[in-house]
């Protein structure tokens, strides 16, 4: 049994964003403790990084020319192999194995990842499942055996379970790298929850609601419109047309890449065999499942809406986000349970269409986890657009009546009870780890449904990967797509790993809220030193010309190095503006870099530039008293 350890750059002083000038070991080498692994060079000196343990190198995670910092992955070491050989062989020792080592090194650069061992799962600094437990290595065969192939109807080099943004990205990337790929999706069309019943349809409806709200606001500028007449069938058709264009495009891309697509529910039968059924396991189905064998698999099965026990789910007036997006009607009164991003976005949709919306949130404020100064302008506007917002409150019961759904409340300023035409339950999502029988393949799934992975998206079984919502927060499509590419590349034998410094978050409410990197809330909780520059949109010519002066942009930075640590924005199009801040963090930019970058004027994008100037003390668009 292998015992794998991911070797990282240790804390040895001034090792921050330095260049690897030489890799001193190769794949398959047997090394001793303290053997030098790589040489790095800073502007002050060059130094060699020693190995913290003896073992056999199973994977190299960097190359000459890469830039690394403390905590960066160097390689994966099988420390159990050292005990098998007495731990005395160095990288240059054992003449009998040297020829084989060189041969393995050559093969390891091009062979599929299933033929190599996996790293121990490492917690991801941002976006990973921080509660995930380390997984032990499984000694499964590297490719499907003859017995596995004979038990199945078809064989593929890679099976991807789930065709959401992460899944289809993984399948397409693997196909581009030459693998024979099967993509399994439960919906009739590719795209998963995001394209079919999530991100995309919600944005189509949010755009419609925003246009309605904007036209109403134009009355203050002397331009008045009659109240809109909403043809709900045409609106629903518009939403479906948007979905159809995207999912149809994906079908064409799959065909062009010769990716085989199977509709159904995939579940593991073993570590190299998967069964595809036409229905869920708890549904009656006389049809025998389709069995396929595989060399590698990527689990991209996503998540599902959380349900609160005891609610009348047989009543169609109680909806989850999928039901709300079907747009069956426009209720006169709508209750949204959950004041997070999904709940507030759908609240904005229905408020724009004419519903009286009430939001109830258990926490003391809306959008928990986001800095309060970013939420405050949104909450101020929503108090005008919504009928009620009850924070620090919870729903204790719900009953179906002829008049509607009667809901009981507790806490905060919520009434004891009230009746609504429809109720949207939006209290979060739960990963589908237990829904795919991953345990039959030897993959560990924790009690919540999360699957632990390493920086190459490997599970505890070397040829099975997991991506997206299944591997931890944040549950965002743009995280899943990048993880999907990594998993596909590793499965195809490439040296790739997920190393994002941050995953940006966006609430597509009105106004939009976006943030990335370190938040002030986290910095205060963890005692991280920071300073910030804040620029109010009330001083932005572009924001004023749009009559949207409620926004603000802030940037957090390290007091010593001045490097960007995080940023946040609230206002129209904040989701489009955050990308520049993400790039700044990834590139190691400092406040001066942002302040000296010429931005077009007048734009909302220059508010990030102005926030950096506030931090630098060079801003002229507002007055900052000298300290």
User: Residue with structure tokens 């990335």?
Assistant: 516
| Residue 544 to residue 215: CA distance in whole angstroms | 17
Specify whether the CB–CB gap between 4 and 58 falls below 8 A: yes
Question: Which tokens hold the place of 103?
Answer: 């041969």
Specify whether the CB–CB gap between 75 and 24 falls below 8 A: no
Specify whether the CB–CB gap between 237 and 180 falls below 8 A: no
CA quadruple 238, 244, 245, 247: dihedral positive or negative?
positive
CA quadruple 523, 527, 531, 537: dihedral positive or negative?
positive
| Residue 298 to residue 78: CA distance in whole angstroms | 23
Q: Are strands 388-391 and 356-361 parallel, antiparallel or unpaired?
A: parallel
Q: Up-side HSE of residue 206: CA atoms within 13 Å toward CB?
A: 22
Asked, as a colleague might, if the bond just before 474 is cis with ω within 30 of 0, I would say: yes
CA quadruple 164, 166, 169, 175: dihedral positive or negative?
negative
Question: Which tokens hold the place of 474?
Answer: 């944040």
Cα separation values, 463 from 128, 298, 458, Å: 20, 9, 7
Who contacts 503 (Cβ-Cβ below 8 Å, separation ≥6)? Answer: 126, 127, 474, 476, 478, 479, 516
* Helix/strand/coil (H/E/C) assignment for every residue in 216-285: HHHHHHCCCCCCCCCCHHHHHHHHHHHHHHHHHHHHHHHHHCCCEEEECEEEECCCCEEEEECCCCCCCC
| Residue 271 to residue 438: CA distance in whole angstroms | 9
What value does the CA radius of gyration of the chain take, rounded to a whole number of Å? 27
Q: Active-site residues: which are they?
A: 601
| Residue 134 to residue 120: CA distance in whole angstroms | 7
């Amino acid at each position: 049994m292998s015992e794998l350890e991911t070797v990282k750059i240790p804390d040895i002083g001034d090792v921050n964003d330095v260049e690897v000038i030489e890799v001193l070991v190769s794949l398959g080498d047997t090394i001793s403790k303290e053997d030098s692994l790589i040489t790095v060079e800073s502007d002050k000196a060059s130094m060699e990084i020693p190995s913290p343990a003896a073992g056999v190198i199973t994977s190299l995670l960097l190359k000459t020319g890469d830039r690394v910092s403390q905590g960066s992955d160097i390689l994966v070491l099988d420390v159990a192999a050292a005990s098998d050989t007495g731990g005395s062989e160095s990288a240059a020792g054992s003449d009998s194995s040297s020829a084989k080592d060189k041969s393995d090194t050559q093969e390891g650069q091009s062979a599929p990842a299933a033929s190599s061992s996996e790293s121990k799962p490492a917690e991801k600094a941002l976006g990973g499942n921080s509660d995930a437990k380390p997984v032990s290595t499984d000694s499964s065969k590297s490719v499907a055996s003859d017995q596995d192939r004979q038990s199945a109807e078809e064989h593929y080099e890679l099976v991807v379970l789930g065709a959401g943004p992460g899944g289809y990205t993984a399948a397409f990337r693997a196909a581009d790298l030459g693998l024979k790929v099967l993509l399994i999706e439960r919906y009739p069309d590719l795209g998963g929850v995001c394209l079919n019943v999530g991100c995309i349809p919600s944005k189509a409806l949010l755009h419609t609601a925003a246009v309605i709200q904007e036209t109403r606001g134009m009355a203050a500028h002397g331009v008045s419109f009659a109240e809109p007449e909403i043809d709900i069938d045409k609106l629903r058709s518009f939403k479906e047309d948007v979905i159809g264009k995207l999912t149809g495009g994906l079908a064409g891309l799959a065909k062009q890449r010769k990716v085989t697509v199977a509709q159904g529910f995939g579940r593991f039968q073993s570590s190299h065999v998967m069964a595809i059924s036409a229905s869920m396991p708890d549904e009656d189905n006389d049809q025998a499942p389709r069995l396929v064998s595989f060399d590698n698999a990527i689990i991209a099965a996503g998540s599902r809406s959380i349900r609160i026990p005891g609610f009348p789910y047989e009543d169609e007036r109680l909806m989850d986000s999928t039901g709300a997006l079907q747009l069956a009607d426009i209720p006169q009164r709508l209750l949204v349970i959950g004041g997070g991003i999904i709940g507030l976005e759908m609240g904005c949709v229905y408020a724009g269409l004419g519903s009286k919306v009430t939001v109830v949130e258990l926490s003391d404020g809306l959008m928990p986890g986001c800095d309060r100064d970013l939420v405050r302008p949104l909450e101020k506007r929503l108090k005008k657009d919504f009928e009620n917002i009850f924070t620090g409150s919870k729903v204790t019961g719900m009953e179906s009546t002829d008049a509607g759904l009667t809901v009981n409340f507790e806490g905060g300023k919520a009434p004891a009870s009230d009746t609504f035409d429809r109720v949207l339950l939006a209290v979060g999502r739960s990963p589908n780890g237990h829904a795919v029988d991953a345990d039959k393949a030897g993959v560990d799934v924790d009690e919540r449904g999360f699957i632990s992975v390493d920086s190459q998206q490997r599970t505890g079984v070397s040829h099975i990967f997991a991506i997206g919502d299944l591997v931890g927060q944040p549950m965002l499509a743009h995280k899943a797509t990048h993880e999907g590419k990594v998993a596909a590349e590793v499965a195809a034998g490439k040296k790739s790993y997920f190393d994002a410094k941050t995953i940006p978050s966006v609430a597509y409410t009105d106004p939009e809220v976006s943030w990335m990197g370190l938040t002030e809330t986290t910095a205060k909780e963890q005692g991280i030193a920071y300073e910030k520059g804040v620029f109010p949109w009330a001083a932005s010519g572009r924001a004023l010309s749009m009559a949207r002066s409620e926004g603000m942009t802030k940037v957090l930075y390290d007091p010593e190095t001045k490097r960007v640590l995080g940023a946040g924005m609230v206002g129209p199009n904040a989701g489009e503006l955050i990308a520049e801040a993400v790039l700044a963090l990834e590139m190691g930019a400092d406040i001066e870099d942002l302040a000296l970058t010429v931005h077009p004027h007048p734009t909302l994008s220059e508010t990030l530039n102005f926030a950096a100037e506030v931090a630098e003390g060079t801003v002229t668009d507002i007055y900052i008293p000298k300290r």
